[in-house]
Amino acid sequence: MNAPAPDRDPLGGYLYAEKPPRLARQAAGAVFLAVLVLAALSALRDWGDGRIAVPPAQRTFERFADGGTAQYLAGQLARGAFPTALADAERGAGWLLTGSLGPRVRQGCPGWLFLVDELAVHPHARADAAARLDAVARVRDRLSRQGIGLLVAVVPDKSRVERAQLCDLYRPVSSAGRLDDWMAGLRQRQVPLVDLFPVLDQAARAGQPPFLRTDTHWSEHGARLAAEAVAQAVRRTGVAAAPPRHFTLSAGPEHEREGDLVRLAGIDWLPARWKPAPDRVRTTTLTAAAEPSASADSADDLFGDAGNPTLALLGTSFSRTSNFTPFLENGLQAVVPSFARDGGDFWGSAQQYFASPSFRQTPPKLVIWEIPERVLQMPVAPAERAWMEDPVPRGPGG
């Protein structure tokens, strides 16, 4: 008896040698239908609970016509309880079965996680980095006209400093000169800067990791080294850090700290034994001492300026992690107001601060601007490019 002919598509090609069993087809259809029903029920529940909503700004004819309303609603639905659970399950299975940490995280040596942003190659890297260099110089010039100094501190990539922990993870050759090129660009434009790479690199070589294994940020050891380097650079500017603040330091007991890269990979919900081992850290507590009241015999006191901070810190989550800002205040023995923002990238913190009442009403004498290396060559968004043209509102003197 002749075997049945395989199924063919209209062009004569073979689709498959034989159909899947009837039971398998029915089971697949039942699973697919169940997923659709559960997704619909989950969306209805989220809508009823108010977790999914379409605000009035998204309900205009213009937004509906250009697809904006549909895009907004799709984003809301994707963040619902059921899609989130499915995404978590997919991430967990990917890690346990294949060692995949998703699109944003990679593992180097065992237990060492790295952010993909540091390893990305951008299409217009040099042009975008040059645009940001020009923007920094423009900020320096605008601040200078108002009698304010600028000090830039670039945080080197974790994958640069902890390169010995990359193992088989590839760091693009094109990123090798990124940090040095940026520093050279700042020096060429005569922008004051502090190079944080030497102190962090020395710590890594000495076996005292300046970065956390499971986090994209520096450890307390790295943050303290960086803060001391920035404090020394501030003193070299000649700006007197004020008002004074003195601290007592005490180290807490060792405890586990799960890094942001575990959460970004979407596997933080897994049992501890199935996740990368957390970092073991000791958190330093810095307690500010009470300062004596200043005498009211100076010109600043007469005009009410004696208590105004002379420094302002801009930056990203690096400035908000591992006690960097308190360590900087301790190194300077002075108050350092921080306007850093998580996820601020190159311009977020600066844009917000220079447009704020804090800057207009109580301008500092020196702005410290912390910038991560990984954002230097990222594509410049239209809103960022517009800000670059006019980054600091003009003061009374122009």
Question: Exposed/middle/buried for 281, CB within 10 Å: 0-12, 13-18, 19+?
Answer: middle
Out of 317, 319, 322, 338, the active site residue is 317
Backbone phi, psi, residue 288, to 5°: -75, 130
- CB distance 171 to 159 below 8 Å: yes
For 249-308, the DSSP string reads EEEEEEEEE--HHHHHTT-TTS-GGGSPPPEEEEEEEEEEPPPPPPPS-SHHHHTT-TTS
- CB distance 369 to 315 below 8 Å: yes
How many whole angstroms separate alpha carbon 225 and alpha carbon 139?
27
How many whole angstroms separate alpha carbon 192 and alpha carbon 232?
13
Out of 46, 128, 157, 215, the active site residue is 215
215 a catalytic residue: yes
**What pairs with residue 311 in β-bridges?**
366
Out of 217, 319, 322, 349, the active site residue is 217
Helix ranges (H only) for the chain are: 22-48, 61-65, 68-78, 81-98, 125-145, 158-161, 178-188, 197-205, 220-237, 260-264, 299-302, 324-332, 348-354, 357-361, 382-389
Q: Is the peptide bond before 243 cis (omega within 30 degrees of 0)?
A: yes
Torsion of CA 21, 26, 31, 37, to 10 degrees: 160
Active site residues: 215, 217, 317
